[in-house]
Amino acid sequence: MTMITFLLCCFIEPPQSVPATPLVPMKSPTAAPETTEATSTFPNSWFYTRGGQRYADNVAMEGKPLPKLSLENWRGEPVDVNNNQGKVMVIDFWATWCGPCRRALPKNVELAKKYKDQPFVLIGIHDARRGKERIEQVVGPLKADYPMAVDVLDSESKSGRSAQACRLKYWPTYLVVDHKGIVRACGLQPSRVEDVVKRLLKEIPQESPPEAKPTSDPS
């Protein structure tokens, strides 16, 4: 198995086609020790792991503000996703050429629909390098009604700027950001994303109802 294939499949089966170049400058991912209470409040079993340990690049993202992401829509116009404070935000880094990514899309559609009336937003970010011309073909039949953005290609590294900022090592990669804009989970298994969303929604302070004003005595 090549290093490229390993990084792309990362504990899940590899996509049907493998890009010729790695997502980020190639280096062997390093396993991190058990995460500390300061960076993660979720079980390691909810994340992709190797030998029972989480990847250091995923762990390093947690407990910090979400980096500024460079994104655009299908027409090449800038997209800002860094203005969602007050909401729980799920970011799905995916690609049309990635089989596991495509299989996770129906779960995304279900999640977006289920929490549409909550302070919640789900955003898909597609690989900057290849496959974006097939986005509509892939997501159209699913009737996905959540925002889809495309990463911006860095001309020097030939990788997506947002992918680099979030230290991606495999596809799909899910990040969950709390209502304060802090990354709370990175590298979740798709089946565990909703578990994190539920917990973080409970952390959002509930607005107190306005105090009832005493009615004046007509007498």
The answer to whether domain 42-202 has CATH 3.30.470.20 is no
- How high is the pLDDT of residue 124? 95
Give yes or no for a contact between 160 and 151, defined as CB atoms under 8 angstroms apart: yes
pLDDT digits (tens, 9 = 90+) for 118-160: 999 999 999 999 999 999 999 999 988 898 899 999 999 899 9
Indicate the pLDDT class of residue 208, thresholds 50, 70 and 90.
low
Average pLDDT, rounded, for the chain:
81
pLDDT digits (tens, 9 = 90+) for 107-120: 999 999 999 999 99
**Average pLDDT, integer, range 175-195:** 97
Tokens 């539920």 locate to 198
Strands 183-186 and 173-177: antiparallel
pLDDT digits (tens, 9 = 90+) for 56-101: 999 999 999 999 998 987 656 677 787 888 999 999 999 999 999 9
Cross-strand partners of 88: 120
Cα gap 65→43, rounded to integer Å: 21
DSSP, res 80: -
* Global confidence as pTM: 0.79
Quick check: 19 pLDDT over 50? no
Indicate the pLDDT class of residue 30, thresholds 50, 70 and 90.
low
Domain ranges of the chain: 42-202
